[in-house]
Structure 1
Amino acid sequence: MSLQEQTLRERRPWYRTVPDPMVLIFLILVATYVLTFFIPAGEFERVVRDGRTAVVPGSFHYLGDVAAIHPFDVFVAIPKGLISASQYLFIVFIAGGLFHILQKSGALENAIGVAVRRVGVARRNLIITVGTFIYGFFGVAVGFENNIALVPIAVLIASAVGCSSLVGTAMAVGGIGVGFALSPINPYTVGVAQGIAELPTFSGAWLRTLMVITSLALLSLYICKRVTRMDFEESPHAEALSKHLDEYRMERRDWLTLLVFVGGLVAMLFGVFTAGWYINEIAGIFLLLAIVIGAINGLSANGIVKQMMEGASGVTAGALVIGVAASIQVILEQAQIIDTIVNALSGLIEGIPIMFSAIMASVVQGVINLFVPSGSGQALVTMPILVPVADLVGMSRQLMITAFQVGDGLTNLIVPTSGGTLAMLALGRVSYAQWLKAIMPFMALVYLLCWGGLVVGHLAGY
């Protein structure tokens, strides 16, 4: 190797030498397969109460008749994972098509260009901070996966103020993730967990509200001071402004396009809150919006299909990562070792001083989240175990639920089994390796902040 080649290699960013996300997740899949030979199969007894399946505390037992997984099943798990995660794949493809049509119409770009011009690029940090808190509010009030399609808007805003798509993705994914993780009114985690713990729904909101506001403020500062200065290689498909800010104007067709788009989002939220809509119904709304917006902007049926295909092709790699990540869950379920892992981890909390047992509980929940990525599913599996543990060690049930929320929610930002996060990264055109490089220092800071909040909550009698 010549001196020049060696110098170029040394200068390459570390994330450029990290294997492709597909390779990383496949290595995790292989490691999971290896674990099945060392972790015995086991399960808890479950009962159905009020239409929900709950774990019976103290009912864990080992299973002795589970067949070993054949090495070929590791490869079979990938198509099974693609099938199990199909709803995430489809919403990424459809949302990618929708935003491609929106971008081609120019309405969204014109609106963002006009808005940023009026506020002023010089106030970039203010725009980033307000944007982060707005996305945080969506995470608090709407949920996590329900906000997938809003990521490209943040990327365009970042482009308008001269920042990379990584900054926009951090605003959107980080804001939504933190808002969802620490939401005082999260029905998927807090609502389910408090129901199991027999506490009033959304009680004890003051601590979670304090934690989510301070964490979003920390995220805003982190993005402004660090992420905006990071070297980042843009994807050739990244959303970006195509004109100078002074050239942007809003025409009648632009207003009509945005009215339809916002109306669709309102209809989506109405369905989420009143009819229990989730990924499939949201994807259906996005598909309808793509057709209507395409027609408003003079596209023929063939033109709409063509632009939908172009948009979907740009997010194919990110969408497929979601399916490969889901294969990890397939192996865990086939080996029947999830309950064994949960039982072992929950035992780590006992025997620790109360002040630190809440912190340990959040760590345990974070590890469990790798194996049980669903927030409500994790609450149903772990809360029947950890609520009695909290009673035994003298910790309040309210504090245990907040510790569960911190551990479950925040790790959604980094675990490769979180389909919603991978879907958002795909729409932001940011690879998983690039995302880890950007977000990991913030994760350390926000965990320290939240652990301090748990200690304060214990000292305040929360």
Structure 2
Amino acid sequence: MSAQDQVLNERKRKKWYQAVPDPMVLIFLILLATYALTFLIPAGAFERVMLDGRTRVVPDSFHYLNDVAAISPFDIFVAIPKGLNEASLYLFIVFIAGGLFHMLQRTGALENAIGVAVHRAGVERRNLIITVGTFIYGFFGVAVGFENNIALVPIAVLIASAVGCSSLVGTTMAVGGIGVGFALSPINPYTVGVAQGIAELPTFSGAWLRVLLVVSALALLSFYICRFVTRMDFEEPANAEAMSKSLDEYHLSGRDKLTLVVFGGGLVAMLVGVFTQGWYINEIAGMFLLIAILIGIVNGLSANDIVKQMMEGASSVTAGALVIGLAASIQVILKEAQIIDTIVYALSGLIQGIPASLSAIMASVVQGVINLFVPSGSGQALVTMPILIPVADLVGMSRQLMITAFQIGDGLTNLIVPTSGGTLAMLALGRVSYEKWLKAILPFMVLVYLLAWVGLFIGHLAGY
């Protein structure tokens, strides 16, 4: 049998749901579908006002627009470089973080530290290590945010390798933990803080339900990883982060310890900047670049060697970075066609006219769909909360519960929507394709949404 016949037979044996195209092809197909929507959905807009330094939507101000030019087929291709430009923040932090962790790998300090730690804990305690790691990443999601933790993903991949698991396990532990922690955080300033300000509620009030949800969801994620993800077939990419020796061969030298002090001190400085100076992607990327240079100096690298290591690391994540830019082109088409407000207006109407006990669940579904078109958490709050808070009052749902429903719908879908630049950046650093990620995470998404909906239903019955 020829090689071509073998390939054809292999394709025939695959189930329809296994024949997922390359991530670039998949996102381009979504881009084409988005372009088709511009002919089906009329352009429209809400009026907006500036309040407390933020642009907010005026409720009941939606109107259709008649003078919006049609998007031409050529604009599909023009949208791609525009998307690369708009997603440049994520592209640059992926390149810089890729360079930083490549340098850490070449020094051996991070691998040695993880090897020593796992050897002392005992590889037979694999499930405990994965569970603790998931909750630690969840804590970072709760306290630090989502995109701010992008560069921590390769550490989880190395931990997974140390306990004999694939990079898919490490990526799920990190991205899933950060995503769940961010989505259900009781102290999320980007979603809860902004939404409660619009709803005229005390900042971070009603935390008890969110605490229960985030702890339960992280426990569910830990169980899912240990029980299912560890058993999934996953072909490691050639450039995947992995342990190079058996665990009993690892030890920490004085230079390793100094390297880790520089790395840890840089992360602490980054967190201080995030919490006290309002640092975001640019400042974090700058700190990673500074850490990389200092690590190079500590390990005796010349300026040329530092540049070489950074370039090698950046080149290893190029494919993932380009996926981020391609996904951002979807948002470009939506904005230029001016149909985002029309979609928000239509979806918000779905919540009215249903029983109050189910309205919070429907609101979370609506917010999840909107998140595909408005991926920013604070941006989505500013667009949808002025509309949905009055809807909550009309259907007899508490404002607090509406905000929790918004948080669930916005946050959890960040894990799967192709317009989430932060998620795609993390996948790039974990060396996991979007296609493989969807296969791994979608069953968990069903479970965590069921858990969240039960929490919303109980919250309504408890008068939350």
Q: How far apart, CA to CA, are the structure 2 residues paired with 1:64 and 1:130?
A: 55
SS in structure 2 opposite 1:48?
strand
Q: Which residue of 2 aligns with 1:233?
A: 235
Q: How far apart, CA to CA, are the structure 2 residues paired with 1:416 and 1:191?
A: 25
Match of 2:166 among 164, 167, 171: 164
Q: Any residues of structure 2 matched to 1:203-352 within 5 Å, and which?
A: 203-352=205-354
The amino acid that maps onto 2:178 is I
Per-residue CA shift, 1:102-152, capped at 9, x if unaligned?
Answer: 000101000000000000000000000000000000000000000000000
Q: How far apart, CA to CA, are the structure 2 residues paired with 1:274 and 1:246?
A: 42
Q: How far apart, CA to CA, are the structure 2 residues paired with 1:366 and 1:5?
A: 38
Q: Any residues of structure 2 matched to 1:17-416 within 5 Å, and which?
A: 17-416=19-418
Q: Is the 8 A contact 1:177 1:412 kept in 2?
A: yes
> CA, structure 1 residues 5+272, in 2 after alignment: closer, same or farther (shift >3 Å)?
closer
Structure 1 residue 13, shift from structure 2 partner = 8.2
Q: Which residue of 2 aligns with 1:426?
A: 428
Q: How far apart, CA to CA, are the structure 1 residues paired with 2:70 and 2:9?
A: 48
| Stretches of 4+ aligned residues off by more than 6 angstroms | 13-16
The amino acid that maps onto 1:86 is S
Percent identity of the aligned residues? 83
Deviates more, 1:93-102 or 1:12-21: 12-21
Q: How far apart, CA to CA, are the structure 1 residues paired with 2:16 and 2:120?
A: 39
Q: Is the 8 A contact 1:196 1:383 kept in 2?
A: yes
Q: How far apart, CA to CA, are the structure 1 residues paired with 2:82 and 2:302?
A: 37
Using structure 2 for the length normalisation, give the TM-score.
0.98
Q: How far apart, CA to CA, are the structure 2 residues paired with 1:6 and 1:428?
A: 31
Structure 1 residue 75, shift from structure 2 partner = 0.4
SS in structure 1 opposite 2:415?
coil
The amino acid that maps onto 1:38 is L
Q: Which residue of 1 aligns with 2:450?
A: 448
Structure 1 residue 17, shift from structure 2 partner = 3.4
Q: How far apart, CA to CA, are the structure 1 residues paired with 2:50 and 2:10?
A: 61
Using structure 1 for the length normalisation, give the TM-score.
0.98
Q: How far apart, CA to CA, are the structure 1 residues paired with 2:308 and 2:399?
A: 54
Q: How far apart, CA to CA, are the structure 1 residues paired with 2:82 and 2:203?
A: 37
The amino acid that maps onto 1:395 is M
Q: How far apart, CA to CA, are the structure 1 residues paired with 2:6 and 2:393?
A: 64
> CA, structure 1 residues 371+5, in 2 after alignment: closer, same or farther (shift >3 Å)?
closer
Q: How far apart, CA to CA, are the structure 1 residues paired with 2:268 and 2:208?
A: 28
Q: How far apart, CA to CA, are the structure 2 residues paired with 1:289 and 1:16?
A: 41
Q: How far apart, CA to CA, are the structure 1 residues paired with 2:375 and 2:125?
A: 38
SS in structure 1 opposite 2:69?
coil
Structure 1 residue 9, shift from structure 2 partner = 3.3
Per-residue CA shift, 1:29-88, capped at 9, x if unaligned?
Answer: 111111111111110000001101110000000111101111111100000000000010
Q: How far apart, CA to CA, are the structure 1 residues paired with 2:326 and 2:277?
A: 31
> CA, structure 1 residues 5+316, in 2 after alignment: closer, same or farther (shift >3 Å)?
closer
Per-residue CA shift, 1:221-276, capped at 9, x if unaligned?
Answer: 00000000000010101000011100000111111101110110011011111111
Structure 1 residue 5, shift from structure 2 partner = 5.0
Per-residue CA shift, 1:333-359, capped at 9, x if unaligned?
Answer: 000000000000000000010111100
Q: How far apart, CA to CA, are the structure 2 residues paired with 1:167 and 1:7?
A: 30
Per-residue CA shift, 1:288-339, capped at 9, x if unaligned?
Answer: 0000001111111000000101000110000000000000100000000000
Structure 1 regions of 5+ residues with no counterpart?
none
Q: Number of residues paired by the alignment?
A: 462
Structure 1 residue 12, shift from structure 2 partner = 5.6
Q: How far apart, CA to CA, are the structure 1 residues paired with 2:290 and 2:48?
A: 40
Q: How far apart, CA to CA, are the structure 1 residues paired with 2:300 and 2:244?
A: 21
The amino acid that maps onto 1:425 is L
Q: How far apart, CA to CA, are the structure 2 residues paired with 1:386 and 1:114?
A: 52
Q: How far apart, CA to CA, are the structure 2 residues paired with 1:439 and 1:409?
A: 14
Q: Is the 8 A contact 1:43 1:62 kept in 2?
A: yes
Q: Is the 8 A contact 1:15 1:437 kept in 2?
A: no
Q: Is the 8 A contact 1:15 1:433 kept in 2?
A: no
Q: How far apart, CA to CA, are the structure 1 residues paired with 2:433 and 2:321?
A: 11
SS in structure 2 opposite 1:201?
coil
Structure 1 residue 8, shift from structure 2 partner = 3.3
